[in-house]
């Protein structure tokens, strides 16, 4: 089984709806669950729209510290991902300001032996170490349970980041050949399939992003672009990538 968990809160309700629609188009066989923040939950009307788009809905009470940080948040996320998962289930964690545009890399994990797949980077202070970017990653049920057990007992920093902490816990249990951290797209690495929307380019269009596996919109924007623009840009890319889910037109 493929399970997708989308973590959100009231301020990202519009983005979350596009995220769910896009994930459902990329992985129609997946079970999608929206994990809302009990302290700042999305409105009832938005919840209804998420369920109508094909998602399950639940709330959590652990503190998220603004950007999914801290021991309670890390343990809450990994326990959510691990709960009820079988060894060979594939679990996708995604932020509500991010679009999953391809499901193939997730499906492939069932056959390649990978237990963790994400975009990653080299740790500056430890050149031999790599860690994951947090907007979207996939983890096997087996790896999620082992990481949950380790992190339940670990002494974590007060603002431990969820993505780095979970990635390192998985790295403690599995060899490097079972963990894939892809370089993101840059002008110097154009083969990258993971990227962030370029808010600072006047030439940016959905067409230029339709072939990526994942695009996050949570990166900094110019001061003249309001936050409301995120959901609009996400929706334009979703419609471009999956026109069959809208009116059949192409971008």
Query: How confident is the model at residue 142, as a pLDDT?
Result: 96
147 contacts 166 by C-beta, under 8 angstroms: yes
Q: What is the band of 177 on the pLDDT scale with cuts at 50, 70, 90?
A: very high
Rg of the chain's alpha carbons, rounded to an integer? 17
How are beta strands 98-100 and 90-95 bridged, if at all? unpaired
The average pLDDT across 218-228 equals 94
Helix (H) or strand (E) holding 56: strand 55-60
Residue 63, CA distances (Å) to 9, 66, 71, 130 in order: 12, 8, 9, 27
- The whole-angstrom separation of Cα 27 and Cα 107 is 9
pLDDT at 250 over 90: no
Q: Which two tokens stand for residue 65?
A: 């510290």
pTM score, two decimals?
0.93
Residues 6+ apart with CB under 8 A from 143: 115, 116, 170, 173, 174
Query: How confident is the model at residue 181, as a pLDDT?
Result: 94
Q: Could you report the per-residue pLDDT of 102-120, keeping only the tens digit for each?
A: 999 999 999 999 999 999 9
Q: Which two tokens stand for residue 142?
A: 């087996």
pLDDT at 121 over 60: yes
pLDDT at 227 over 70: yes
Among 4-13, 124-133, 191-200, the range scoring the smallest mean pLDDT is 124-133
Query: How confident is the model at residue 66, as a pLDDT?
Result: 84
pLDDT at 248 over 50: no
62 contacts 72 by C-beta, under 8 angstroms: yes
Q: Could you report the per-residue pLDDT of 29-72, keeping only the tens digit for each?
A: 999 999 999 999 999 999 999 999 999 999 999 999 888 999 99
């Amino acid at each position: 089984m493929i399970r997708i968990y989308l973590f959100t809160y009231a301020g990202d309700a519009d983005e979350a709806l596009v995220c769910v629609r896009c994930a459902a188009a990329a992985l129609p066989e997946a079970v999608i669950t929206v994990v809302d923040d009990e302290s700042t939950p999305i409105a009832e009307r938005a919840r209804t729209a998420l369920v109508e788009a094909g998602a399950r809905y639940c709330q959590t009470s652990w503190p998220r510290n603004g950007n999914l940080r801290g021991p309670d948040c890390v343990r809450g996320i990994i326990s959510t991902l691990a709960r009820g998962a079988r060894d060979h289930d594939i679990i996708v964690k995604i932020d509500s300001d991010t679009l999953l545009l391809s499901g193939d890399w997730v499906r492939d994990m069932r056959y390649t032996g990978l237990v963790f797949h994400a975009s990653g980077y080299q740790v500056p202070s430890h050149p031999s170490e790599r860690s994951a970017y947090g907007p979207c990653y996939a983890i096997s049920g087996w790896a999620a349970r082992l990481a949950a057990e380790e992190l339940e007992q670990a002494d974590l920093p007060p603002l431990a980041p969820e993505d780095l902490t979970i990635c390192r816990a998985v790295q403690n249990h599995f060899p490097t050949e079972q963990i894939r951290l892809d370089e993101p797209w840059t002008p110097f690495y154009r083969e990258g399939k993971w990227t962030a929307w370029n808010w600072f380019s006047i030439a940016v269009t959905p067409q230029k992003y339709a072939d990526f596996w994942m695009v996050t919109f949570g990166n900094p924007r110019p001061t003249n672009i309001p936050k409301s623009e995120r959901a609009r840009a996400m929706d334009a890319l979703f419609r471009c990538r999956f026109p069959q889910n809208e009116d059949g037109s192409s971008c």
